[in-house]
Amino acid sequence: MMLFSLEPDSAFARALCAQLGVEIAAHEERRFPDAECKLRPLVDPAGADAYVVLGLHGGPVDSPHDKLWRLLAFVATLRDHGAARVTAVAPYLAYARKDRRTKPHDPVGLRYVAQLFEAVGTDRLIVLEAHDAAAFENAFRIPVTSLAAHRAFAHVADDLARAGPLAVASPDPGGVKRAQLWREALEERLAKPVGFAMVDKRRSAGVVASSRLVAGDVAGATVLLLDDLIASGETMHRAAVALRGAGAASVLACAAHGLFIEPAAQVLAGEGIDAVFVTDSVPPFRLPQHAAVRAKLRVVPCAPLFAEAIGRG
C-alpha cells in the first residue's frame, strides 16, 4: 500500500496513516508564478496499490476547483507511471449536492465530477456521507463508497441513552433515509426503542423556507438531529426550533461536514441547539477562535471509518 496526502500537514491523513500502520508517501508539488502547478510522486508507484487523500472543500488556501484539479492530475500521474490501482480518498466531495436538475437547463455537477474521475483512470472513490447516497452511486461507473457519518457519532448516544428517551430526526424530507438508518443502528446498539421525527423544509434559489411542522413524537426526548453538512446553519437552527416547539428536551446537531459559512457562527450560537457534533472531514477554520459557538462544538475523528473501508479492499 502507498498513501499520498496532497494537503500539507493534514491531520486527517496522519490519523489515517496511523490507523493503517503506514507512512505518508513522499511527493513534490511545484506552484508556478502564473498559478499553474505540477505534482509528482517521489517514490516509484509501479505496481502499487495507491491511495490519494485530499478533501475537496473550499479553503483555507485553495478553492474546490484547484483541489479537484490537483487530485485528478495526481491520480492520472500515478496511472501513467504504472500504479496497479489508484483509489481517491476525498472526505468531502465537491459538487455532491448538485445531483439532479431542479431548474430549466440546470447542470448536474455530481455527474460531471464523476466523469472526470473516470477519465483520469481512478479505480475507486471513497467519501464520507455523500449528499444523496443513491444519486452518488448512480453517477459513477467505477466502485464508490459513501461512509455513513452516524457511525462516527455512535459513542455520543451511549451516555445520552442512560439519561432518558432518545430520538433521531432529519431536518428535512431529503435526509429521512439517513436518519432512519441511524435510528435503526441505535436501536440495535442500545437494545431499546429510539424515536424518529422529520421537520418540513423547502429550498428555492438558495432561500430556505420551513414551517414548524414536525412529523413524529419527540416530547421529552433528547433529539439527535442528523444532516450531511452544516453550511450557514439555518437548516439546523430552524429544525431545532421546531423540535423544541414539539416538546424536545434538548437538540444535538450532528453533521458529517462542518462548512460553517457565514452566518453559521451566529446562527448556531443561538438558543435551540445544545451542542454541535461534526467530523474532522473539514477543519472548522471558518469559525472565529473566540466565537461563542465553539463552546458547543465537538469534532470527532472519521479516519477510523476510512481505515476500515480501505482495509476491506
Count the neighbouring beta carbons within 10 Å of the beta carbon of residue 310.
Answer: 21
pLDDT for residue 224 is more than 70:
yes
As a whole number, mean pLDDT of residues 49-76 equals 97
**Sorting pLDDT into bands at 50, 70 and 90, what band is 199?**
very high
Percentage of residues of the chain with pLDDT beyond 90 = 90
E-strand stretches of the chain = 2-5, 27-31, 37-41, 49-53, 85-90, 124-128, 144-147, 166-170, 195-199, 202-204, 207-209, 214-216, 222-230, 250-258, 275-279, 297-300
User: What is the reported pLDDT for 159?
Assistant: 81
> Is residue 212 predicted with pLDDT exceeding 80?
no
Check pLDDT > 70 for residue 205: no
| Residue 52, CA distances (Å) to 42, 44, 72, 205 in order | 14, 14, 10, 35
Pick the CATH number of 150-301 from 3.30.450.20, 3.40.50.300, 3.40.50.2020, 1.10.3720.10: 3.40.50.2020
Q: pLDDT tens digits, residue range 71-96?
A: 999 999 999 999 999 999 999 999 99
Class of domain 2-147: alpha beta
**pLDDT tens digits for range 152-193:** 998 888 888 788 899 999 999 999 999 999 999 999 999 999
Q: Where are the domains of the chain?
A: 2-147, 150-301
Mean pLDDT of the chain: 94
**pTM for the full predicted model:** 0.94
